[in-house]
Amino acid sequence: MIKFLSSDEEKRVIDCIKEAEVATTGEIRIHLQGKVHKTAWEDALEVFDHLKMANTQERNGVLIFIVPKDHQLVIIGDKGIHDQVMNGFWVNVRDEMLKHFRDKDFAEGLCAGVRLIGAKLHKYFPALDGGEENPNELPDDISYDM
């Protein structure tokens, strides 16, 4: 098994998710998987469903799915956010993350992706104003299937 993140790095990434989500109603999840079972894309879609990423009110959940051992990375944005940003945005996020991954700085790669996604979510799905609650519709923790 590959140890992708130390405990401190995991906490840092979760803090990045929390910070990104403060300004948006969008939700960001990260999932780390031990191996590809079908294809990375098909596995990511199954995890997207399993984590209930499509259950956000505005369909603005984003999953970062990584299989470290197989060097696979998939980013899936639900319909609400994907319709706003389209494919080029996801490619840019992937490329920015991979720059850090190549240097073995996995935590910074994840945080860089989370920050870019969070900025777009804030642009299109800003947190509610007027003192209204900004509910956290999905957990911020990293899910694992290692």
CA distance 18 to 21: 5
- Confidence (pLDDT) at 3: 74
Residue 116's CB is within 10 A of a number of other CB atoms, namely 18
Q: What count of Cα atoms within 13 Å lies in the side-chain half-sphere of residue 78?
A: 23
Q: CATH assignment of 7-125?
A: 3.10.310.50
The structural domains of the chain, with segments of one domain joined by +, span: 7-125
Global pTM reads 0.94
- Residues 7-33: tens digit of each pLDDT: 999 999 999 999 999 989 999 999 999
Residues near 37 by beta carbon (within 8 Å), at least 6 away in sequence: 43
Is-contact 49 65, C-beta < 8 A?
Answer: no
